[in-house]
Amino acid sequence: MGKIAVGIVGVTGYTGMELVRLLQYHPYFELVQVTSRQEAGRALQEIYPFLEGTSLGLLPITIPDPELMARDCDLVFLAVPHGTAMNIAAEFLKLGVKVVDLSADFRLKDKEVYATWYNVEHTQEEFLQEAVYGLPEIYEADIAQARLIANPGCYPTSAILALYPALKFELIDSEQIIIDSKSGASGAGRSAKIGTIFCEVYDNFRAYNLGKHRHTPEIEQELTFACGKEILVSFSTHLLPINRGILTTVYAPLKKKSSIDEIINIYKRFYKDKNWIRILPRNILPETRHVRGTMFCDLGLVKDERTERLIIVSAIDNLCRGASGQAIANANLMYGFDAQTGLNQSALVP
């Protein structure tokens, strides 16, 4: 069996860079086309010197053209901004090319909710309804049959995986959920912005977009699916002075008397066949350094005996598990491979 030809639209951002890193040695996918309007005409190694001397180093960067890419590519990853991806995806799908979209354009099933949060009208409602939300632990069977994947956001990945079993098994009060998340600076993208330059981020820690972060409806949508009733969460976000990683802490009142050991066992049973979910032992909490560069989601569970609250701590790498690695896991499933193919990296420590 020959390798499956893949392309990346938007190779110069952090998610594009991470896709290149992970695809470089994938046993079944071959990266054959990469695009960027700003860097077209250059070789990939000119913008990513870590590829110097490798098979991908001389791959030319071209202007994105779906018709030309469709001649060579079976699958494309869209690493472009929301509002742009939806129309590009539609072009590829009509040309018979499978799509994994890393933007937010196909994550929300309600086009009105999308327009409200992203200030863009959705122009591809036909494909919006077809898209499968790409969280392998929850939707593996659907992903395997899909031709369009809505790759989850980084914050939602950490929050949904933390809360899904607790809501599924009615362990917590679904009306009083607080999600407190912190992300490394790469989560803001690679474009130059004052708020993410070195002197603004280093030796600092700040909140942003409180009460209005665009990942909020995505989290609520998927948690609503988990328990079958509408979920409203309080979601707050913070910027950490680190490159990569997300640490999410969730607080929710327990609905019924349960010991922490019982709760841990419920989580272990729910995720028993999910190799990327690591339920940590009692009194051990996740840290971002232990998941850096990997697909792992580490979950730590604590029962606050005084307030009868469940506290869930989740750690992921925002670029790998929260974006590009998850995109490749979805592509693996779309082609009948094990989701872990090419993604079994150990953490980049220290």
Q: Could you count the other beta carbons within 10 Å of the beta carbon of residue 89?
A: 29
The contacts of residue 274 (CB under 8 Å, 6+ apart) are 136, 137
Active-site hit among 154, 199, 227, 320 = 154
User: In the prediction, which pLDDT does 194 show?
Assistant: 83
DSSP secondary structure of 264-292: HHHHHHHTTT-TTEEEPPTT----GGGTT
> Does residue 220 or residue 200 have the better pLDDT?
220
Per-residue pLDDT band for 1 (boundaries 50, 70, 90) equals low
Cβ proximity of 98 and 147 under 8 Å: yes
Q: Percent of the chain having pLDDT more than 90?
A: 92
**pTM metric for this prediction:** 0.95
Q: Quick check: 191 pLDDT over 90?
A: no
Q: At what angle do helices 325-334 and 136-144 cross, to 10 degrees?
A: 40
The mean pLDDT of 60-67, rounded to a whole number, is: 96
**pLDDT tens sequence across 266-296:** 999 999 999 999 999 998 999 999 999 999 9
d(CA 313, CA 250): 6
Q: Is the dihedral of CA 121, 124, 130, 136 positive or negative?
A: negative
Whether the bond between 350 and the residue before it is cis, its omega within 30 degrees of 0, is: yes
Mean pLDDT of all residues belonging to the chain? 96
* Domains of the chain by residue range: 4-130, 155-318
User: In the prediction, which pLDDT does 190 show?
Assistant: 79
User: CB-side exposure of 181: number of CA atoms within 13 Å?
Assistant: 35
Per-residue pLDDT band for 175 (boundaries 50, 70, 90) equals very high
What is the phi/psi pair of residue 32, to 5°?
A: -115, -20
The dotted CATH code for 155-318 is: 3.30.360.10
Cβ proximity of 305 and 84 under 8 Å: no
Active site residue 199: no
The dotted CATH code for 4-130 is: 3.40.50.720
